[in-house]
Amino acid sequence: MRQRAERFRDPVTMLSLHGWAGARAFYLGDFVEARDEMTKATEWYHTEAYRSFVEEYGWDGGILAYAVLAWTLWILGYPERARDTCDATLAIAEGTANPGTLAAALAYAANLARARRELERVPELTARCLALSTSWVGPALCTQGWAAVQQGNVEAGIAKMQKGLTFFERAGVHGTYGYHRSALIEAHLIRGTTEEALPLVRDALASCQTLLDRFHEAELHRLEGELLRLRGDEAGAEAAFRAAIELARRQSAKSYELRAATSWARLLRNQGKRDAARELLAPVHGWFTEGHDTHDLREAAALLAELR
């Protein structure tokens, strides 16, 4: 793709080059490169040549550059910039009047809403997505199920997630399967069924090493730690939280680092190590310059206030 782009430098090739490079970086967990490549891809989206390509062939894969960029910004620790990019993505998609474009934008917007834990936004986005396209049934049902579980409808949410995961399995789709299965792991954590959840999270972690799907790996380590903590294995939980933080730092994934630091600080507090908990969490929370009204930052701030 790079060789072709250097030769022709037409907008469709340039957008495709940066879009695929950004997607590869994202799924490998290189979020800084993903942000940079997706930003370059969006610069070619509104060119006349690219719009002509979409009109001729009907496929508007370029919208995914905006969609993945929004998700990447959240992972890097910019919740408000992520939300603004997501809103812009939806506005662009709605303006195209292309159902496939809008369905893709809505599916990724639902992922971001899940990341920001906007429970009221997820059902609206996924319902609109499902009304437009059957291509996103698996992801949309999993995200709908996640929201239901978080709102207290645990059994109904699990049933919906299992139905969504079945679509992945029947289609033979592996990309993002581990991410969407982590919603089921969260549900088991809430329900307290660690025996069912631990094999799932460990299988998902093993798959990260063989599939191009490492973008959610740090969060999987954190979930493993929470499951082990619930079982009373504090040493195992600490090892998992440490793995989550170390990986998140290597990936510059500040939002995942914050979640892992909050989980580990809560464990340290319960062990009576309040100073250590505060020293762990305070620098990570203090790094953030935006999004202090989002769920994760409010949760971390509340824990820090308690530790003081």
Domain ranges of the chain: 1-135
Residue whose structure tokens are 């207290």: 152
Answer whether 38's CB lies under 8 Å from 15's CB: no
pLDDT band at 1 (very low <50, low <70, confident <90, very high): confident
Q: What percent of the chain has pLDDT over 70?
A: 100
**CATH superfamily name and code, 1-135:** Tetratricopeptide repeat domain (1.25.40.10)
* Predicted local distance difference test score (pLDDT) of residue 209: 84
pTM: 0.96
Answer whether 176's CB lies under 8 Å from 213's CB: yes
CA torsion, ordered 242, 244, 245, 247, to nearest 10 deg: 120
* Predicted local distance difference test score (pLDDT) of residue 175: 84
Answer whether 173's CB lies under 8 Å from 212's CB: no
Mean predicted confidence (pLDDT) in 198-223: 93
Q: Nearest-CA neighbor of 148 among 194, 111, 176, 184?
A: 184
Distances (CA, A) of 202 to 166, 224, 286: 19, 8, 31
Distances (CA, A) of 168 to 174, 181, 268: 7, 10, 38
* Predicted local distance difference test score (pLDDT) of residue 121: 96
* Element holding 28 (H helix, E strand): helix 11-28
Mean predicted confidence (pLDDT) in 1-17: 91
Question: At a CB cut-off of 8 Å and minimum separation 6, what does 61 contact?
Answer: 16, 19
Q: What is the pLDDT of residues 43-99, one digit of tens each?
A: 999 999 999 999 999 889 999 999 999 999 999 999 999 999 999 999 999 999 899
Residue 109 structure tokens: 């917007």
Widest pairwise Cα distance in the chain: 65
The total number of residues written for the chain in this structure: 308
pLDDT band at 174 (very low <50, low <70, confident <90, very high): confident
Q: What is the DSSP letter of 116?
A: T
